[in-house]
Structure 1
Amino acid sequence: MTPTPPPKRRGLMRLLFALRYSIDGLRAGWREPAFRQELVLGAVLLPAAWQLGRTWAEMALLVGAVIAVWVVELLNTAVESVVDRIGPEWHALAKRAKDLGSAAVLLALLFAGGVWGAALWTWWRGA
């Protein structure tokens, strides 16, 4: 028996169900150790953004860099979940998809590290 797709919702109900799906996604992300570690680190960094950022734009860049890591990690987890759903056997394309997702996380982490490193360097030098 083929499962039936959920009914099409409109208006406020669509938004409420979309919010529920998003919360389910965050819960699924929390079960991933890498995402959990990045969230905990972000919980420390985000309040520090208000101390390090001298302007609204600087604070937004610091906060945005952290949120970008979270977003990319969630997307990487989604790619890995889909690849794992297809099957457990090794395949070159499955490896490529997982490697590309991992590379995206690495780039997001390097970007965030650069932004935060520059902010800390500026703060340390007293500029």
Structure 2
Amino acid sequence: MTYTRIDLAALTGSVVTRIMASCAEVSAELTGDALARAGCSKLPSLRAIDHHPAEHPSALVAASPHVPLALVRLAYALNDLGAAGVVLPPCEECGAQKRDLPFSVESSRVVYDEFLVTRGGDVNAVIG
């Protein structure tokens, strides 16, 4: 299935609406700027951001490590742009709020060091 620009625009609009509904302090313009800044304006990221808040409306206002990576990037972009009320997602293991939570263990975001610990320090498990 291919998406047209209209479909992408409609999905972007849906994401903006969901983000504004979940965080009252965030405007449509700020959300659009944050999507661009976070590199989340393409289909996979938009889908992840659209689906997650639909099931978890408080995803941006409650600290939870159970979010897609695109939502982590969006939360930090919103924070960088001065959005009030946005809570940054923490690492599931250590609780650190870091911009880069690239790894997922049992659907939770974790930092690199914690990912290695959960894999027994096996770097090949990270790479492979």
Pairwise same-fold verdict (TM > 0.5): no
Q: Larger Rg: 1 or 2?
A: 1
TM-score, reference length from structure 1: 0.29
TM-score, reference length from structure 2: 0.29
Q: More helix by proportion, 1 or 2?
A: 1
Q: More strand by proportion, 1 or 2?
A: 2
